[in-house]
Amino acid sequence: MGEVPKHYPQRAGTRPILVNNAGIRMYHTVVEASAESWDEILGVNLKGYVFCAKAAIPLMRSGGGGSIVNVASVRSVTSVGKTTQYDTTKAAVAGLTRGMAVDHAGDGIRVNAVCPGPIFTPFHEKRTRELGRTLEQYREDAAKSTILKRPGTPEEVAACILFLASDDASFVTGTLLFVDGGQTAM
């Protein structure tokens, strides 16, 4: 059996962590989307993650390792229509996660992603109201789309991010953790 790298395990709370969590949505088909809208969504949803990681990785490397957690989405593997740009960027985040995990494992840097499903956030509250729907309708739709029959909470996603960033996940890298109430299992 191989030797355990000297940088694992380390006292909790001493390893640097980067959580990449940014995203915008656009509601276009490929035909409706413009070059400018593609540039905008790729800039925020993908390139923002890339450049934050580019800045953090040398610091993590020089400190003996670290953890990066990217926030992707169930939309990295599913779609509901008219969200092609968002879905594409979140699929790219999944690929970025796997690639960075392979590239930086030797540096003691673990890279993982959480993929939230229907999570009730202020964004969803605002979007629901803009569509002329009630919050109860949102909750009913979320209930139909998950095995657990409810939307998730930001706190549930945060708990998964905290796990992936912690030393409790010291043997976890390159993974996508779906925080979706079983939506992708349906």
Tokens of 171: 């043997």
Identify the residue whose tokens are 């979320």.
142
Catalytic residue, candidates 8, 27, 86, 138: 86
C-alpha 112/C-alpha 116 separation (Å) is: 13
In Å, the largest CA–CA distance within the chain is: 60
Tokens of 115: 């993929």
Tokens of 32: 């409706």
Active site residue 27: no
Phi and psi (nearest 5°) for 154?
-55, -35
Cβ atoms of 63 and 113 within 8 Å: the answer is no
Cβ atoms of 174 and 111 within 8 Å: the answer is yes
Q: Looking at residue 174, what DSSP letter applies?
A: S
Write out the catalytic residue numbers.
86
